[in-house]
Chains A and B, each alone.
Chain A
């Protein structure tokens, strides 16, 4: 069974940093591209970042470019999102997804003073 479990969310002050993790199981992690998607509470979905299976190709939404860094550790079946210079508008539930086929339950990031 494919499982994706995010962690690392929490309350952080504006300008602060957080590192999200997503641990995958039930499939060969290194074979799949992965993405991060966020959802503002009560609002729609916003794609955040993409990383190819071998991390050769990486893309970001303009809203996070230069502040967020996606990475992966295929040996540990893990996906990461380093978030720096956080803003109030980054407050959201962050989901990791395998090709949008499978999604984790999400981790809530709240940016507030």
Chain B
């Protein structure tokens, strides 16, 4: 199974400042079709997760452009250019390159 790790696990951030979360996979996420199926999700307290980014860097429709994803191979990053109050919650990376699909442990983002 592909193991997903995230750093940091907790991130107090200042409103209006940037934030960054790293995600690493235990093996390459490049699929045989050439794409890397690395996804970022955001979960607010008491809510289901929602999709932010798919295939490393593609923003899902409706996701603000302050969110961006980057990376390749086994190392990936989610960046928030200027944190807003609604961005608090837990961020998960996950891979859907191969079964079983696996999630990172989550990074809790809250406001300082």
Interface residues of chain A, those whose CB is within 8 Å of chain B, are 35, 37, 44-47, 50, 59, 61-62, 95, 100-106
Interface residues of B, Cβ cutoff 8 Å to A: 39, 41, 48-51, 54, 60, 92, 94, 96, 99-106
B99-A100 in contact (CB<8A): no
A47:B60 contact, CB within 8 angstroms: no
Given contacts A45-B92, A45-B94, is CB(A105)–CB(B103) below 8 Å? no
A35: B residues at CB distance < 8 A = 101
> Is A95's CB under 8 angstroms from B48's CB?
yes
* Contact assessment for B49 and A47 in the assembled complex, using a CB-CB cutoff below 8 Å: no
In the bound complex, CA of A35 to CA of B100 (Å): 12
A101 to chain B: which residues have CB within 8 Å? 51, 54, 60
Tell me the smallest distance from the CB of B91 to a CB of chain A, in Å: 11
Smallest CB–CB gap between B23 and chain A, Å? 13
Query: Nearest chain A CB to B51's CB is how many angstroms away?
Result: 5
A51 to B: closest C-beta gap in Å = 12
By Cβ-Cβ distance, the 8 closest A-B pairs, closest first, are A103-B48, A47-B101, A59-B99, A45-B103, A44-B106, A61-B100, A101-B51, A44-B105
- Across-interface contacts of A45 in B (CB, < 8 A): 41, 49, 92, 94, 103, 106
Q: Is there contact, CB below 8 Å, between A105 and B48?
A: yes
Residues of chain B with a CB closer than 8 A to A44's CB: 92, 103-106
Closest chain B CB from A13 CB (angstroms): 27
Of chain A, the residue at the smallest CB distance from B41 is: A100
Chain A residues whose C-beta falls within 8 Å of the C-beta of B101 in the assembled complex: 35, 47, 50
